Structure 1
Amino acid sequence: MTLQFSIITPDRIFLNAQADEIILPTNTGQMGVLTGHAPLITALDIGVLLYRSKKGGASPSPWTSLALMGGFALILMDNITVLVNEAENSETIDPQEALQTFEVARQQFLEATNPKQKVSANFAFKRAQARYQVGKEK
């Protein structure tokens, strides 16, 4: 049995797929989901969603990663619905641009001094980090 999952952004259905394992970037850390998972609603942080499948009973395929920009996930009877502000895969991310953005965001995060700057810099850093992690898989 497999997990059926959908990733939905405000403007489109980003992905409909099946997987044997999914790792979600929740606000309290990464959370693994396998078939038969208890029903749950969880908040998602900016981060990387990972999923993989076993094809025809063979060994698992490599992990596929997607950058998610915060949202929620509903797990119910082997169906997972992920509602996010934005999602990207390695095909839509330029690795060079993602690396440059990541380095700038990291520097701004380290240089932030007041609370407002820190919150803004943390958001930009998490977003750049997720895009860089997914983009470097090209």
Structure 2
Amino acid sequence: MNVEIITPDKELFNGEASSVIVPGSDGLLGILNDHAPLISSLTNGDVKLKTTDGEKTFTVNGGVVEVLNNKVMILAE
């Protein structure tokens, strides 16, 4: 699935990942291919991606995640 992580200042990541874990406001959310459509707010924490290059971690201070048609967009602070 395609993943984009964007902050007000820059794009942190844009590429393919096999799984994504985000700090949702009600707890951790795990996202895999063909996940149902979803919009959720994020709290402070780490976004973890599994890519072909290994695991990548990005720290966010809140934001929003949208999942739609195997695309994950994270608008982070």
Larger radius of gyration: 1
Percentage identity across paired residues of the two chains = 30
Q: Distance in 2 between matches of 1:8 and 1:79?
A: 13
Q: Classify 1:14/1:62 alpha carbon distance in 2 versus 1 (closer, same or farther; 3 Å).
A: closer
Q: In the alignment, what sits opposite 2:76?
A: 84
Larger RCO (CA within 8 A; separation ≥ 6)? 2
C-alpha RMSD of the superposition: 1.2
**Moved segments of 4+, more than 3 Å:** none
In the TM superposition, what is the alpha-carbon distance from 1:63 to its structure 2 partner?
A: 2.4
TM-score with structure 1 setting the length:
0.53
Q: Which has the higher helix share?
A: 1
Q: How many corresponding residue pairs?
A: 77
Q: Distance in 1 between matches of 2:50 and 2:22?
A: 12
TM-score with structure 2 setting the length:
0.91
Structure 2, unaligned runs of 5 or more: none
Structure 1, unaligned runs of 5 or more: 56-60, 86-138
Q: Distance in 1 between matches of 2:11 and 2:54?
A: 23
Q: Distance in 2 between matches of 1:6 and 1:52?
A: 13
